[in-house]
Amino acid sequence: MRLSILIAIVLLPVAAFAEMPRINPAFRFSAENPNFTGRNKDWMADARTGCWLFDGNPAPGETVEWSGDCQDRLATGDGTATFYKEGQARLTIVGKFSRGSLTGQGKLVNGGDIYEGEFAFTAQYGTGVLTKANGEQYRGTWPGSGTYSLPDGTNCPALARRYQRFFVIYGSCVTETLRK
């Protein structure tokens, strides 16, 4: 009896932690080491403010605008980062930034799709909810597992996996690929 309780106490935290994969060390290094030369493609400067933000993998031709404080040339504190491609707003991220990236709670708006939840280095990472413009919703971990819901009340187990610059949601009731 005592052995089974001990095993449960030891394995439960391990099982919960096993759901979340480690952040790629190269990605983490780039995010934690700002580069103001413009040679590191993961960092972008707001042309208006000169404030730098970490994107992690910006698309060619992408630019950023930052509304918030800038400390030591880095986006800092509560603010909004709007990413543009070819002059068109692509996505907006709102939250508390530190050293140029959002880590913690935040909100990402991409067209009519809204993600609210946890971020690490300006990317969805942890627990969050994505609500699509059409009313479909994924609730779970990023990357990881969760539940996908349709507006008619249908639910199915689903997996969120990163593929290059976006997440792909897999599940029996998923109607389309979801992209960051």
Looking at residue 103, its pLDDT comes to 87
The total number of structural domains that make up the chain: 1
Q: Compute the C-alpha angle 93/99/102, nearest 5°.
A: 25
Q: Which residues of the chain have pLDDT under 50?
A: 1-20, 178-180
- Length of the chain, in residues: 180
Tell me if 179 is assigned to some domain: no
Per residue in 79-102, pLDDT tens?
999 999 888 998 899 999 999 998
pLDDT of 164: 55
pLDDT of residue 165: 55
Full residue range of the structural domain in which residue 115 is found? 2-171
pLDDT reported for residue 49: 93
- Residue 55 domain-assigned (yes or no): yes
Does residue 79 fall inside a structural domain? yes
- 81, part of any domain: yes
Is the Cα torsion angle 114, 78, 27, 139 positive or negative in sign?
negative
- At residue 107, the pLDDT reads 96
Is residue 27 a part of any domain in this protein? yes
- Decide if 176 is inside a domain: no
Peptide bond before residue 143 is cis, with ω within 30 degrees of 0: yes
In a domain, 177, yes or no: no
How far is Cα of residue 73 from the mean position of the Cα atoms in its chain?
22
Q: What is the pLDDT of residue 52?
A: 92
Question: pTM for this one?
Answer: 0.77
* CATH code of the domain covering residue 150: 2.20.110.10
Helix (H) or strand (E) holding 19: none
What is the reported pLDDT for 14?
32
Structure confidence at residue 65 (pLDDT) = 96
Domain membership of residue 95 (yes or no) is yes
